[in-house]
Structure formats: structure tokens, C-alpha cells
């Protein structure tokens, strides 16, 4: 991400909108760059855009996005309280898992987003972003709800992807939905504690 002018989210978005660094550029309808507060303490990173996202150019606005809104709302968080994006900015055909080369091609954009926003906490939604950011962490069924350090100063907490909750809607104890409810409570408690500490400083 070199250039003479200072990098901003807007200029980064403009670069991404013209990106053809991998094959996904030739099949996309829209680049789904990300949205939310540019000063958010919380960043949420999913896998890649789906069909609705590819059509609208907005992240997490389809059925999985509605589920994410529900999960966040259960603890009083709103989309505006976070910055939401994906590992890859273009939809993989058929909503398949992004290939490693596609994630490598897109990672400079995600790195730059993280550097510009400087979140204190990243929630990795699903196995793909979890394994990408935390290659030494166990799979999502073991890593969800745990805090990991990423590059020193940022914490990462994996959670199940909202689309997984749509496939397993049970609310029974130990179900993905129940575990996600517990995980988002951890996120809210951590954010509240951090905000209280900042207010008292």
C-alpha cells in the first residue's frame, strides 16, 4: 500500500474498487470493502461477501448479516459501534471458502484497514478469518470465546460465523447459538471494562 498521499479509508476503498489482483475481480458485481465507525474499538471480520453483499456492496446485509445484527443487539451493540469487513472483498463464486491465493492477494487491504482503524478488539467470525489471523490457534469449535493476542497490541476473539447459527438454530445449552450468546457477552463486557478504564484515566 505505497503511495505519496496519506492513506485513508476512502483512498483505500478506491484502490480496492479497482483491484484485479486475483480471479475474484473478474466475477464480482461489487467490491465489498467494509463499513462502520472509522474510530471503532471493535472490528468484526468475516470470510467473504455473499450474494446480497455482492449486489449491494455492503458487508453482512443478507441473512447472515441479519443474524449478526441480532447477536450484537442481544447485548446492546449496534453495527455503528463496530467496523465490519471480510478477509476477501469480492464474492467467491457459489459462496465457496476463499482460496489461499485470494486471501493473500486481499490481505494488504485488510492489514491497512486494521492499521487505519486501530481497533482494540477484533472478532473473527468463523473458521476462515480465525485461521488466517491466528494460524496456530485450534479450529473454531475450540478457539471461540477465547482471547488471543495478535501482533502484540490487538486482541482477537473468534466466534461462530452467523451463517453457522442459521444452519443450527437450536438455543439449547452447548449449541452454537447458545455459545455465541455467551461469547458476545464476553465481547461486551471487555468493551465496557475498557471504556470504564478510559473514563477513569
pLDDT tens over the chain, length 201 residues: 555 678 999 999 999 999 999 999 999 999 999 999 999 999 999 999 999 999 999 999 999 999 999 999 999 999 999 999 999 999 999 999 999 999 999 999 999 999 999 999 999 999 999 999 999 999 999 999 999 999 978 999 999 999 999 999 899 999 999 999 999 999 999 999 999 988 776
Q: Which residues contact 8 (CB under 8 A, 6 or more apart)?
A: 116
Q: Which CATH class is domain 9-200?
A: alpha beta
DSSP assignment of 106-122 equals: HHHHHHHHHHHH--SEE
Domain boundaries, the chain: 9-200
Q: How far is CA 152 from the centre of its chain?
A: 19
pTM of the predicted structure, to 2 decimals:
0.94
Amino acid at each position: 500500500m505505497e503511495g505519496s498521499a496519506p492513506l485513508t479509508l476512502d483512498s483505500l476503498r478506491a484502490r480496492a474498487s479497482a483491484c484485479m489482483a486475483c480471479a475474484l475481480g473478474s466475477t464480482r458485481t461489487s467490491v465489498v470493502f467494509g463499513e462502520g465507525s472509522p474510530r471503532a474499538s471493535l472490528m468484526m471480520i468475516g470470510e467473504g461477501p455473499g450474494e446480497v453483499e455482492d449486489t449491494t456492496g455492503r458487508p453482512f446485509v443478507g441473512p447472515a448479516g441479519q443474524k449478526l445484527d441480532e447477536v450484537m443487539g442481544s447485548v446492546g451493540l449496534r453495527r455503528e459501534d463496530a467496523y465490519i469487513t471480510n478477509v476477501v472483498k469480492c464474492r467467491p463464486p457459489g459462496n465457496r471458502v476463499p482460496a489461499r491465493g485470494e486471501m493473500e492477494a486481499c490481505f494488504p487491504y485488510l492489514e491497512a484497514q486494521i492499521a487505519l482503524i486501530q481497533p482494540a478488539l477484533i472478532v473473527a467470525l468463523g473458521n476462515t478469518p480465525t485461521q488466517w489471523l491466528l494460524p496456530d490457534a485450534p479450529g473454531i469449535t475450540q478457539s471461540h470465546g477465547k482471547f488471543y493476542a495478535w501482533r502484540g497490541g490487538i486482541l482477537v476473539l473468534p466466534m461462530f460465523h452467523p451463517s453457522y447459527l442459521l444452519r443450527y438454530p437450536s438455543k439449547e445449552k452447548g449449541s452454537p447459538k447458545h455459545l455465541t450468546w455467551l461469547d458476545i457477552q464476553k465481547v461486551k463486557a471487555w468493551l465496557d471494562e475498557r471504556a470504564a478504564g478510559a473514563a477513569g484515566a
